[in-house]
Chains A and B, each alone.
Chain A
Amino acid sequence: MNEEDSPYLPESATILNVKKMAENEKLFEIELDSGEALNHDPGQFVEVSVPGVGEVPISISSSPTKEGNSFELCIREVGNVTGVIHTLEKGDEIGIRGPYGEGFPVDELKGHDVIFIAGGLGIAPLRSLINYTLDRREEFEDVKILYGCKKPCELLYEDEVEEWREMDEIDYRETVDECPDDVCWEGNVGVITTLIPGVDIDLDNSYTVVCGPPIMYRFVLQELKEKKVPDERIYLSLERRMKCGVGKCGHCQINGKEGEFYVCQDGPVFNYDVVKDFEEAL
């Protein structure tokens, strides 16, 4: 069979670097063995293969504006495949398919304020867009980042977060659900929604981009509604079970009275106004 013909054939790639970020999350820097850049949009994902174990969809966590041809994936250990990925080291080879899906509408966001709301691992896909806006800072107006985790030790991208805290050109706020007594934490304590009331949102000129666990969306969206943020100015990145990444296996479908979407092709990034009435979306 001709190689170009199979949408299921991964390309080989090599791990250039592994960095532990928190108890269950590691950041992997990866380069395709072809030497080519991935050429992705912020918000897209790849299918990562560990031959003999399986394949999992993972958001691309680095910006296409990053120097060099490598890209980064932030992977949480939760099961079979991600468990084995966590044992891999620099120099190990993996398979990559993609990039897949629709990412964030970068051109639409340009010239506007962008407000990022990330819960837990939701920072992984958002970071590709955050870094994009930081690398092309002049193309965007105000940039605000709201980032929440369960505990201070679960904070990801610590080095970068440290920079964000110091940066004048962005407004960075953080919160943890709870903070053990013996941990030093200067940020807010409370769920992520507690950060939203204090943020100034220019309703006519801003976009809000949200990513987090399913439960977070409901509360964050409620809070944004109270702030009168128009639904069409909100973008979400959704997660579903995926087996193919190319619109065939049927696993990632989201349905509602209005119709249906395939998260692997129509998403993972969706405009809230488009999916809000879909019963299975949120």
Chain B
Amino acid sequence: MKIIKKNVFEGLVDELIENDEREIIGVQSKDSKYVFDRLEKAEGLELDYDVTILPPKKYFMPQRETLVEYETREGLEMEPVNEVIPRIIIGIHPYDLEAIKQMDKVFADSPKDSNYLEKRENSVLIGVNMQQTSDWSFAGSMGTATVDDGYDLMLTDLGKKYAVEIGSSKGSDLLEKISEDVRDASPEEIDKVEKAKEEIKDEFDKELDFSPQKLPSLLADTYDQDDFWEENAEDCYSCGTCNIVCPTCYCFDVQDFSDISLEEGERMRQWDGCMLEAFAEVAGGENFREERAERYRHRYMRKGRYLYNRFGDIACVGCGRCSSQCVPDIADPTDIFNKLWRGKDE
């Protein structure tokens, strides 16, 4: 563990903004909320925040991106496209780092998705331990309030200085530039960081009443409680917001766009959501998840069970974005999971 003064860190960020070829992204406040956005100055960084509107996923899987470009002037020519902007992203909370780790697995699974992977490889992740929590978050229960890896550098606020944990050579390379101002952490400082990490785990208002490891079997057991799913889905608008804001949702739609000559154009993917009505509809009108309750159940099953079966991770990191942004307030995973847990023996 290393220690740097806050003003040294800010100097480093300004120096990167000034001279590094990479785009520097950081958490900033916007209309009393927080967002990941391009940094103009280190001053704009807000590292003491609760949660951002959208997760940093957008830098690896943009809302819309080109996969293939084509041209038909002299026969059909198709080229793969990947618009990679190398980036340094500053201020990622542990639960979002965990979500990125999960996405890395999804897109590295065969066949590899280079559109995602190349963007990831060209990014540096600077995490920050939480000092405050969102009212909706339950990262403490999901084991994602802190992480041991998944970052290139990890910061912990110690008043006038940051403790810095180094997760990779990409991270240590950044510190090279200020090596004279970096020193080893003292045992007391290490202690402080560990204590801060321990303490934050208990700072969440929302909680899961049981270990998340029990989710896969709980959800298998409650899959066919149709009344339960119907009751809870009753007010759902099928708006898909809970998918769009989720750091572990990655389903997509693909569409073609051509220019006016119709001789060239591109194939693009964009975020899609399993809560939207047409998600499983095929030509001829058959819809394999026609009922609101079926789609509603599907989202929870996917978070707590399906993706676990496939990749070994509980695909909810407890950020609480879904519940905080659901207008009828029916998207809170702790609410649903706890109800299922309490009802399981009845």
Do A and B interact? yes
Q: Does A95 contact B (CB under 8 A)?
A: yes
Interchain Cβ contacts under 8 Å between A and B, 19 examples: A9-B68, A9-B79, A12-B77, A49-B78, A52-B256, A53-B256, A79-B283, A93-B72, A214-B286, A240-B280, A241-B281, A247-B111, A248-B250, A249-B251, A249-B272, A250-B274, A259-B309, A260-B310, A279-B224
0/1 string, B187-229, CB within 8 A of A gives 1? 0000000000000000000000000000000001001100000
Given A52-B256, A250-B274, answer yes or no on A6-B114 (Cβ-Cβ < 8 Å).
yes
Min distance, Cβ B262 to any Cβ of chain A, angstroms: 6
B309 / chain A contacts, CB cutoff of 8 Å: 259-260
A249 CB contact (under 8 Å) in B82, B118, B253? B253
A82 / chain B contacts, CB cutoff of 8 Å: 283
Given A1-B80, A52-B262, A78-B284, answer yes or no on A250-B111 (Cβ-Cβ < 8 Å).
no
List 8 additional A-B contacts (Cβ < 8 Å) besides A3-B80, A93-B72, A250-B250.
A5-B114, A8-B269, A9-B68, A12-B78, A50-B256, A214-B286, A249-B254, A280-B288
A197 / chain B contacts, CB cutoff of 8 Å: none
Complex CA gap A35/B224 in Å reads 51
Q: Does A251 contact B (CB under 8 A)?
A: yes
Given A239-B282, A249-B253, answer yes or no on A9-B80 (Cβ-Cβ < 8 Å).
yes
Given A5-B112, A78-B284, A248-B106, answer yes or no on A280-B289 (Cβ-Cβ < 8 Å).
yes
B254 touches A255 (CB 8 A): no
Count the B residues whose beta carbon is within 8 Å of the partner chain — how many? 54
A250 touches B272 (CB 8 A): yes
0/1 string, B270-295, CB within 8 A of A gives 1? 00101000011111101011000010
A9 touches B78 (CB 8 A): yes
Complex CA gap A9/B67 in Å reads 8
Complex CA gap A254/B298 in Å reads 10
Complex CA gap A55/B262 in Å reads 16
Complex CA gap A49/B306 in Å reads 30
CB nearest neighbor in A for B301: A255
Given A255-B298, A255-B301, A279-B224, answer yes or no on A5-B282 (Cβ-Cβ < 8 Å).
no
Q: Does A170 contact B (CB under 8 A)?
A: no
A1 CB contact (under 8 Å) in B114, B255, B272, B282? B114
Min distance, Cβ A88 to any Cβ of chain B, angstroms: 12
Complex CA gap A260/B310 in Å reads 9
Complex CA gap A213/B147 in Å reads 49
B75 touches A12 (CB 8 A): yes
A244 CB contact (under 8 Å) in B72, B78, B106, B254? B254
Given A6-B80, A78-B284, answer yes or no on A257-B220 (Cβ-Cβ < 8 Å).
yes
B288 touches A240 (CB 8 A): yes
Chain B contact residues: over half helix, strand or loop, or mixed?
mixed
Given A1-B80, A95-B76, answer yes or no on A241-B282 (Cβ-Cβ < 8 Å).
yes
Count the A residues whose beta carbon is within 8 Å of the partner chain — how many? 46
Q: Does B7 contact A (CB under 8 A)?
A: no
A-contacting residues, B227-255, CB 8 Å? 250-255
B72 CB contact (under 8 Å) in A51, A241, A279? A51
A-contacting residues, B292-342, CB 8 Å? 294, 298, 301, 306, 309-310
Min distance, Cβ A5 to any Cβ of chain B, angstroms: 4
Question: Hey, which bits of chain A sit against chain B, CB under 8 A?
Answer: 1-3, 5-10, 12, 49-55, 78-79, 82, 93-95, 213-214, 239-241, 243-244, 246-251, 253-260, 279-280
Min distance, Cβ B66 to any Cβ of chain A, angstroms: 10
Q: Does B265 contact A (CB under 8 A)?
A: yes
B106 / chain A contacts, CB cutoff of 8 Å: 248
Chain A contact residues: over half helix, strand or loop, or mixed?
loop
Smallest CB-CB A-B distances: 4 pairs:
A250-B251, A52-B258, A6-B80, A5-B114
Q: Does B109 contact A (CB under 8 A)?
A: yes
Min distance, Cβ A193 to any Cβ of chain B, angstroms: 20
Complex CA gap A170/B224 in Å reads 44
Q: Does B70 contact A (CB under 8 A)?
A: yes
A51 touches B256 (CB 8 A): yes
Q: Does B53 contact A (CB under 8 A)?
A: no
A8 CB contact (under 8 Å) in B67, B77, B223, B253? B67
Given A1-B118, A7-B112, answer yes or no on A241-B224 (Cβ-Cβ < 8 Å).
no
A8 touches B80 (CB 8 A): yes
Complex CA gap A250/B254 in Å reads 12
0/1 string, B81-111, CB within 8 A of A gives 1? 1100000000000000000000000110101
Given A9-B80, A52-B258, A244-B254, answer yes or no on A257-B67 (Cβ-Cβ < 8 Å).
no
Q: Does B184 contact A (CB under 8 A)?
A: no
Given A51-B256, A95-B78, answer yes or no on A7-B289 (Cβ-Cβ < 8 Å).
no
A8 touches B283 (CB 8 A): no
Complex CA gap A205/B240 in Å reads 49
Complex CA gap A51/B309 in Å reads 36
CB nearest neighbor in B for A258: B220
Given A9-B78, A12-B78, answer yes or no on A78-B289 (Cβ-Cβ < 8 Å).
no
B43 / chain A contacts, CB cutoff of 8 Å: none
Complex CA gap A3/B250 in Å reads 23
A-contacting residues, B16-33, CB 8 Å? none
Complex CA gap A55/B283 in Å reads 13
A241 / chain B contacts, CB cutoff of 8 Å: 279-282, 288
